[in-house]
A = this chain, B = another copy of it.
Amino acid sequence: MKEQAGKLDQICINTMRMLSVDMVEAAKSGHPGLPLGAAAVAYVLWTRFLRHNPGNPSWPNRDRFILSAGHGSALLYALLHLTGYDLSLDELKNFRQWGSKTPGHPEYGVTPGVEATTGPLGQGFGMGVGMAMAGRFLGECFNRPGFQVLDPTVYALVSDGDLMEGVASEAASLAGTLGLGRLIYLYDDNRITIDGDTSITFREDVARRFEAYNWHVQRLDDDTDLDAVEEAIRIAREEEGRPSLIIVRTHIGYGSPRQDSPKAHGEPLGQEAARETKERAGWPVTPAFHIPEEALKQFRLAVDEGARREKEWREMFDAYRESFPEEAGRFEMQFGRELPPGWDENLPVFRSGDGPLATRAASGKVMNALAERVPNLLGGSADLAASLKTLLAGHDDRNIHFGIREHAMGAIVNGMALFGGLIPYGSTFLVFSDYMRPPMRLAALMNIHSLFIFSHDSIAVGEDGPTHQPVEQIASMRAIPNMTVLRPADANETAAAWRVAIRRSRPTALILTRQKVPVLDVGEGASPHPMIEGVPKGAYVLSDCTGVPDVILIATGSEVHLALEAKARLQEEGIRARIVSMPSWELFAEQPQAYRDTVLPPECGARLALEAGSPVGWHRWVGYNGDVIAVDRFGASAPGGTVYEEYGFSVDHVLSRARILLGK
């Protein structure tokens, strides 16, 4: 009987392997090495532990599995097809082809059952930590005695590349500090990277390193001993107070002529080697994509099993709803990505007498008001909470201390957003957004509701000097597709920007000042506040002249009040200026051309943009005849006001440039 089971297991594992080989061969591109090497481990995890429902990939209480080594996508697609997800065999045959659901690396939102987009190494590792944090936080929110409505385990398959990347180190250290027991990572320790043996570059003692991070570590020398793999995962699951790393000695390209060679990593085996691999495994060489009936039957047990599990859970949830109707309602609202009624009704409205006020300070007030109504807003900063004003007072459970780990913070925020039920944010100084570009890109690619809050947004940072003064960061963020970047001009625009950030449910970056700026007087008492209308459109006429404008000053953030001051002076000189506040290029670009033309009439080519950041991209709005007052070099260390003025951000300089533009 044991023999028999062993044989069926072997057939199942070889099914995964050979499907992967055939996918890569059909695509003439891809990575056979990992699927061949890690199939046995993945098989044990998926068939003996993973709690999932292939019929409903969004069941909230499913376990999460992340293929952090995303290049092994064929393995994941094989598993998804075999266990009965909505991923047909034809999709597997169309691996890496235009319009298929089987892209080269796993993509969230494209393939049912893919929990996270992976491929950029280390990101999956970090996102898994975020998912485990989300699971724990939400479990503490919602679970009640007798009702474990949320208790998932987060699993990932990670590679040497993942472990070399700094983001994994950051996330691992935080996971150990937090003692995330429901996090189990299987390390595909195949000792091979693209450039050769890992000993070339990676001689560290991984086990010892992870023990130092407070992880529970196990080693398995033989991945083909399925019971040993099972036992290790079982032990890891019993370890409730620490994350687990199971180091499994595997063999890249297992069973192929390229086994244990870098050549197995990232290119098809080729017809001959594929044939040999199949023959060695006692597998029919043709037809390709062969799936033995008994293997399919075994894998597809997951369908009924998953349906049963979810059904049991739903029954429990119904009883939970009886006992805890408020919690159940909140649970469904949060996982339904809905906002509570009146979520934004208590947001502060600022009067000019409330200023001057840094937009980071305004943001803090807005966030704290939001926190009262939006129970799933949570996040934190990379050791700058007080500077960034991102602490939610009275909600310590929702304040996350990421440590000085911006990169992991970004990945963790993504993981929390992917988990569901949460609106997570991460925050740091704008200049250090550079440290988290990879997860920001992934947030944008996945188009998820990750919020990034950046303060200290220009050379006006002052004394800390050029290392702490962003220049190119705003332009660089605007270049990321799908990312909505908002740089509000004052406290009320900040509140409006937060409304957009919450409601839009998309990756969003808020750019805030360190220094105080006036609360702009836009006709106090007007209701609704004009900025609530204007900000979501990306740009709007904040202050107009009578008649046709001679010049349009377009500004964002802290430069808007400078534009307003310049306008008054220009008026004295008989020059009619319109002031356009433009907190978001992306939102403005989404507006109908008709609206855009009312804000920036094509006939007015005399346009001057003001932004204390890189000029790159501004010519899109000012045109060929326009001009830009921006920062085209690095900043300098001096009091912020001095730097700001020395770099051309003064009313006098704006006037002189406006006059040049008008030929006066």
Give me the interface of A with B, judged by CB distance under 8 Å. Answer: 27, 29-30, 70, 96-100, 103-105, 107, 117-121, 160-161, 164-170, 173-174, 176-177, 193-196, 200-209, 211-214, 381, 383-387, 401-405, 407-408, 431-432, 434-435, 437-438, 441-442, 444-445, 462-468, 471-472, 475-476, 478-482, 605, 614, 616-617, 619-620, 623-626, 632-634, 636-639, 642-643, 646
- Assess whether A103 is in contact with B466, with CB atoms less than 8 Å apart: yes
Residues in B with CB closer than 8 Å to A202 are 173, 177, 403
Shortest C-beta distance, A252 to chain B (Å), equals 14
Shortest C-beta distance, A173 to chain B (Å), equals 5
- Assess whether A387 is in contact with B96, with CB atoms less than 8 Å apart: no
**Candidate in A29, A170, A208, A404 with the most chain B CB atoms within 10 angstroms:** A404
The 9 closest A-B pairs by CB, nearest first: A166-B166, A623-B624, A201-B403, A103-B637, A119-B467, A169-B169, A472-B479, A98-B638, A208-B212
With beta carbons under 8 angstroms apart, the residue of B201, B383, B407, B626 that contacts A174 is: B201
Residues in B with CB closer than 8 Å to A160 are 404
| A444→B386 CA distance, assembly (Å) | 30
With beta carbons under 8 angstroms apart, the residue of B385, B405, B632 that contacts A165 is: B405
Shortest C-beta distance, A424 to chain B (Å), equals 17
- Assess whether B620 is in contact with A619, with CB atoms less than 8 Å apart: yes
| A384→B639 CA distance, assembly (Å) | 45
Shortest C-beta distance, A636 to chain B (Å), equals 7
- Assess whether A164 is in contact with B404, with CB atoms less than 8 Å apart: yes
Residues in B with CB closer than 8 Å to A481 are 471-472, 614, 632-634
Residues in B with CB closer than 8 Å to A467 are 70, 104-105, 107, 117-120, 442, 445
- Assess whether B441 is in contact with A121, with CB atoms less than 8 Å apart: no
Q: A29-B463, A103-B466, A211-B208 are in contact. Are A166 and B164 (CB under 8 A)?
A: no
- Assess whether A441 is in contact with B434, with CB atoms less than 8 Å apart: yes
Shortest C-beta distance, A426 to chain B (Å), equals 14
With beta carbons under 8 angstroms apart, the residue of B437, B464, B632 that contacts A437 is: B437
With beta carbons under 8 angstroms apart, the residue of B98, B166, B173, B482 that contacts A170 is: B166
With beta carbons under 8 angstroms apart, the residue of B98, B203, B624 that contacts A214 is: B203
- Assess whether B173 is in contact with A204, with CB atoms less than 8 Å apart: yes
- Assess whether B98 is in contact with A643, with CB atoms less than 8 Å apart: yes
Residues in B with CB closer than 8 Å to A165 are 166, 170, 404-405, 407, 435
- Assess whether B212 is in contact with A212, with CB atoms less than 8 Å apart: yes
Residues in B with CB closer than 8 Å to A466 are 103, 107, 445
- Assess whether A166 is in contact with B208, with CB atoms less than 8 Å apart: no
Shortest C-beta distance, A318 to chain B (Å), equals 40
- Assess whether B104 is in contact with A463, with CB atoms less than 8 Å apart: yes
| A657→B465 CA distance, assembly (Å) | 45
Closest to A447 in B: B634
Closest to A439 in B: B434
| A30→B403 CA distance, assembly (Å) | 21
| A168→B441 CA distance, assembly (Å) | 22
Closest to A170 in B: B166
Closest to A177 in B: B203
- Assess whether B623 is in contact with A462, with CB atoms less than 8 Å apart: no
Shortest C-beta distance, A202 to chain B (Å), equals 6
Shortest C-beta distance, A476 to chain B (Å), equals 4
- Assess whether A479 is in contact with B475, with CB atoms less than 8 Å apart: yes
Shortest C-beta distance, A466 to chain B (Å), equals 6
| A99→B434 CA distance, assembly (Å) | 27
- Assess whether B166 is in contact with A405, with CB atoms less than 8 Å apart: yes
Residues in B with CB closer than 8 Å to A70 are 467
Shortest C-beta distance, A606 to chain B (Å), equals 12
With beta carbons under 8 angstroms apart, the residue of B174, B195, B636 that contacts A385 is: B195
- Assess whether A478 is in contact with B193, with CB atoms less than 8 Å apart: no
Q: Give 28 A-B contacts (CB < 8 Å), ordered by A residue.
A: A27-B463, A103-B465, A103-B636, A104-B464, A117-B467, A120-B432, A164-B170, A164-B404, A165-B166, A165-B170, A173-B204, A177-B202, A194-B386, A201-B404, A203-B214, A205-B212, A208-B209, A209-B212, A432-B438, A434-B437, A435-B438, A445-B634, A475-B476, A605-B624, A616-B617, A617-B617, A619-B620, A623-B624
Residues in B with CB closer than 8 Å to A384 are 194-195
Residues in B with CB closer than 8 Å to A104 are 463-465, 467-468, 637
Q: A201-B177, A203-B177, A214-B203 are in contact. Are A434 and B445 (CB under 8 A)?
A: no
Closest to A621 in B: B619
Residues in B with CB closer than 8 Å to A209 are 208-209, 212-213
| A401→B197 CA distance, assembly (Å) | 11
- Assess whether A642 is in contact with B98, with CB atoms less than 8 Å apart: yes
Q: A202-B177, A203-B177, A403-B201 are in contact. Are A463 and B164 (CB under 8 A)?
A: no
| A614→B213 CA distance, assembly (Å) | 40
Closest to A625 in B: B624
Residues in B with CB closer than 8 Å to A212 are 204-209, 212
Closest to A30 in B: B463
Closest to A471 in B: B481
- Assess whether A616 is in contact with B204, with CB atoms less than 8 Å apart: no
- Assess whether A166 is in contact with B120, with CB atoms less than 8 Å apart: no
Residues in B with CB closer than 8 Å to A401 are 195-196, 200-201
| A98→B200 CA distance, assembly (Å) | 47
| A97→B465 CA distance, assembly (Å) | 10
